[in-house]
Amino acid sequence: MPEMGTPARTGHVDTFCADNLPPRELWPVTDWTGVPELAYPARLNCAAELLDRMVESGNGDRLVFRSEGGAWTYRGLLETANRIAHVLAEDHGVLPGNRVLLRGPNNPMMAACWFGILKAGGVVVCTMPLLRERELRYLADKAEIRLALTDVRFADECSAAFQTHAHGQQRKDARVVHFNSDAHDSLEPMMRRKPATFRNCDTAADDIAIIAFTSGTTGEGKGTMHSHRDIMAITDCFPRYVLKPTAEDIFCGSPPLAFTYALGGLLLFPMRFGACSLLLEQATPPNLIRAIAEHRPTICFTAPTAYRAMTAMVSEHDVSSLRKCVSAGETLPLTVFEGWRSATGISIIDGIGATEMLHIFISSPEDELRPGSTGKVVPGYQAKVVGDDGNDVSDGSIGRLAVRGPTGCRYLGNVERQREYVRDGWNLTGDSYKRDAAGYFWYQARTDDMIISGGYNIGGPEVENVLLEHPAVLECGVIGEPHDERGHIVKAVIVLRPGHDGNAALVKELQDFVKARIAPYKYPRAVEFVDALPRTNTGKLQRYRLRESAG
């Protein structure tokens, strides 16, 4: 399968992204001929395609967002994004190709900033509001970010992170701008002085639009780079051929927009079809199911953990407006599928995606579901199961999942990891699967040390690194322990320094210690104190032995 097309002239002045792409020979094979909608022009700005074109086609008065703060139309979003683009380019000197960090909960201004950055030619680095100062500082250093747009309520740690680099040196020309605020130096007052029209940056389809960071298994997230073409491709594959929404749908869900799962499901997919999205800042299962009953959305994107929790609440809330439900982020247990179907009559559409691939590439429509299976390959993609030697295994045999299509993995400045993820042009996702004779894929397990808990990806070594900073901890190993409600929970197995007692008080102290330094959902819900950790002769921690003891 050949690479398609010839790269067009870049629209970026700042060449950081191009300079930090892996060598071309390490890229996965990409194919844009799988479905006709993927034939995009060489010059492409995805913000213009998703937003400007919708208004130009006569849909400016349609609702694009509902939220607790009110409703936005497509025209209102376009004008706000245009004003933001003016502020970025004129007041803050953002040049095409500059990275801009974006931080906040799911709300319309967060989305407007996302589009404003792309209109100005910037590259969006969207982060979860739960990330702490040290995590934000790492992202800012890795992507060489000098400007952050942050919801004022989540600004403190972002401001602290932008004061210094990880090694302690002061940052130069770093700025943090607040939104959802009327302070004189915030985004909203600046926007009001700007025109509602903006000439979009003339980006190439292959120019990078976003850098999405994974939750890495090596202790620090890896930046994955996706182009304007990639953004459009995911809107024309899974939603068009599997989900099949209409302009009358209202989307809702729980994941933050910093997750590519939510970026597609709560922003890009509805907008591609002229639909509306209900953006919830606090989308815990109780809040989500109450919002479904109140706002009457028709399509829901969340994780199995949330469906399990909401199943027990269905009798107290009217969820009859829902017609389709999507699950991703972790494997969908059959008991959750059956429980939700019994309670609502809706068969959950399961799917697997990856930050490296941007969105879902295996899934099936409701009328083709096989409960317990992830589904078939999404049109536009190819997938297979391979052995350790890279050769295809027979149907029914367990192996590593390999996939390729219009999107693919390109790590930011990480050639070593790129060589591991991409082999012979195929993306190896780190999942063990088997395929049946009918082409359905059945999830078996993760092949790396990633912990998937409640829909969140958590790198065990990252938690280990924080625990090792505590004066009581000599050694530790962090693994996922099976859990009925969350799929897995984070478990820390710890060797204490002499003079410390492994009691309940220390457990709570260590948990609070982790919560204060990295995102709270990463803290170890289970802690075990041991005399020694299992290691190889060369001293490498044998996490598989810890997992075996955890069941």
Q: Which domains does the chain have, with CATH numbers?
A: 45-58+67-203 (3.40.50.980), 451-550 (3.30.300.30)
Q: Are 213 and 408 in contact (CB under 8 A)?
A: no
Output the CA angle 214-218-222, nearest 5 degrees: 30
Share of the chain above pLDDT 90, in %: 81
Q: CA 11, 14, 19 angle in degrees (round to 5)?
A: 100
Q: Is the pLDDT of residue 501 over 70?
A: yes
User: Which residues fall within 8 angstroms of residue 22, CB to CB, at 6 or more apart?
Assistant: 410, 411, 414, 415, 418
Q: What is the pLDDT of residue 544?
A: 78
Burial 244-261 (b: 16+ CB within 10 A, else e): ebeeebbbbbbbbbbbbb
Rounded alpha-carbon distances, angstroms, from residue 115 to 74, 122, 209, 257: 12, 10, 10, 13
If pLDDT is split at 50, 70 and 90, which confidence band does 312 have?
very high
Q: Is the pLDDT of residue 220 over 80?
A: no
> How many angstroms separate the CA atoms of 210 and 127, rounded?
11
Per-residue pLDDT at 217 exceeds 50: no
| pLDDT at residue 144, rounded to an integer | 96
Q: Does residue 417 have a pLDDT over 60?
A: yes
Q: Decide: 325 and 346 in contact? Cβ < 8 Å.
A: yes
Beta-carbon contacts of residue 463 (< 8 Å; ≥ 6 apart)? 478, 490, 492, 514, 518, 522, 523, 524
What does the pLDDT average to over 302-307? 91
What pLDDT is stored for residue 540 in this prediction? 67
pLDDT at 541 over 90: no
The mean-pLDDT minimum among 196-210, 338-352, 388-402, 453-467 falls in 453-467
Closest CA to 261 of 333, 340, 363, 192: 363
Classify residue 152 as exposed, middle or buried by CB count within 10 Å of its CB (0-12, 13-18, 19+): middle
Indicate the average pLDDT of the chain.
93
The per-residue pLDDT for 187 is 97
Angle at 191 between CA 187 and CA 192, to 5 degrees: 125
CA-to-CA distance for 11 and 98, rounded, in angstroms? 12
Average pLDDT over residues 251-268: 96
Name every residue whose Cβ is closer than 8 Å to that of residue 32 and which is 6 or more positions away in sequence. Answer: 4, 5, 38, 39, 40, 229, 233, 406
- Mean pLDDT to the nearest integer, 516-530: 95
Contact between residue 362 and residue 397 where contact means Cβ atoms under 8 Å apart: no
Residue 241, classed as helix, strand or coil, is helix
The pLDDT of residue 539 is 62
In this prediction, residue 218 carries a pLDDT of 43
pLDDT for the residue numbered 268: 98
The partner residues of 250 in beta bridges, in order of sequence, read 276
pLDDT at residue 1, rounded to an integer: 33
Structure token digits, residue 61: 């008065």
Query: How far is it, in rounded angstroms, from Cα 365 to Cα 349?
Result: 7
Report CA 447 to chain centroid distance, whole Å.
Answer: 20
- The stretches of 10-132 forming alpha helices (DSSP H) are 16-19, 46-47, 53-54, 74-86, 108-119
Segment 13-42 mean pLDDT: 95
Count other C-beta atoms under 10 Å from residue 534's C-beta. 16
Confidence of residue 536 (pLDDT cuts 50, 70, 90): low
